[in-house]
Chains A and B, each alone.
Chain A
Amino acid sequence: MTAQDMDQQWTVEDWNIINYNEAYARQKTAVQAVLSGHGPYLFMCEHPAVITLGRLADSRHILASSPVLEQQGIDVIAVDRGGDVTLHAPGQLVAYPVFNLKNYRCDLRWYLDKLEQVAIDLLTDFDILTCRFPGRTGVWVGSKKIVSIGVGVKHWVTFHGLAININTDLPLFNLIKPCGLEVQMTSVQQLQGTAVDMRIVKQLFQRHCLRIFTGNFSPAF
């Protein structure tokens, strides 16, 4: 990474709670902007409950029937990210970094590893001891999963990203087999015994993300 790359100004936006498809459309616009020379973006948001299927998803990993999902107003959307099935819902921090890996390192494994590290550092701020399992991208607390990752890369520009369960309504994950795995999900709220202020979480996430990808600390937005 060159000094010039490290000095690139990141555009950070908090979309609050945003429909999944709207967030996807905004990401694609940002990807085109970065391909045209714009600096990096970091988008943070929460989504109304939605199930997404990555490119390697097996639809049998949706355990709930269509009528049940309809009754709960939960859409199922096939998306162009890696990975299997996942669920987003309010209380889950979703982050979408959009930047050109050519300015950093053209290495998908490196990028996934750095995303995990951002989440691990954030969770450490809440005194949560996490772990990784080789070959299973994501972040875990013991045998429970707390962070899911699935990315897209277009001409080395990143989109999609990661989802961290902060105050997520965990029983919603019973609707699916997360990432196609027999795994229980956990959240910061479950581990702390109390809900956490999402605004603080976003400030910390931004700080860790910019530090890890640029080497610089940045003031909270």
Chain B
Amino acid sequence: MQIVLPQLGEGIERAEVAFWHVKVGDRVAQQTDLVEMVTDKATFIIPADCSGVVKNIYARVGESLLIGAPLAQIDLVE
């Protein structure tokens, strides 16, 4: 499952990666904190939508991403 940067609010077009709570290979449960994004006055922690293993991380800390940009890939675990 691909995790993307969700809509954060009206007029907010992008956000910066502030902190990764996971690394590739980590096993995550649903609602585990994945990544903290930051806009000018707000941080926003994005959770995992599913349980699985972090397969890929697509953005580095400090990178500015558009809404909808891919953040990570999680392989589902049965």
Residues of A near any B CB (own CB < 8 A): 35, 54-56, 80-83, 106-112, 137, 149-155
Contact = CB atoms under 8 A, between A and B. Distances in A.
7 contacts: A35-B31, A80-B19, A108-B8, A110-B9, A151-B41, A152-B44, A153-B43
A133 B11 CA distance: 16
Nearest to B46: A155
Mostly helix, strand, loop or mixed at chain B's interface?
strand
A111 B74 CA distance: 30
B18, B36, B43, B45 interface centre (most CB from chain A within 10 Å): B43
A154 B45 contact: yes
Interface in B1-45: 7-12, 16, 18-19, 31, 33, 36, 38-45
A159 B76 CA distance: 31
Nearest to B8: A108
Contacts of A108: 8-9, 12, 39, 42, 44
B70 interface: no
Interface centre among A80, A82, A149, A151 (most CB of B within 10 A): A82
A150 B46 CA distance: 18
B35 to A, nearest CB: 12
A151 B31 contact: no
Interface in B55-73: none
Contacts of B45: 152-155
Contacts of B47: 155
Contacts of B44: 108, 152-153
Could you say which of B7, B36, B40, B42 has the most chain A C-beta atoms within 10 Å of its C-beta? B42
Which of B7, B18, B41 is most buried by chain A, counting CB atoms within 10 A of its CB?
B41
A207 B29 CA distance: 39
Contact of A56 (B7, B11, B40, B46): B40
A80 B10 contact: no
B9 A82 contact: no
A54 B36 CA distance: 13
Contacts of B38: 55-56, 82
A5 to B, nearest CB: 18
Contacts of A82: 38-43
B8 to A, nearest CB: 5
Contacts of A155: 31, 45-47
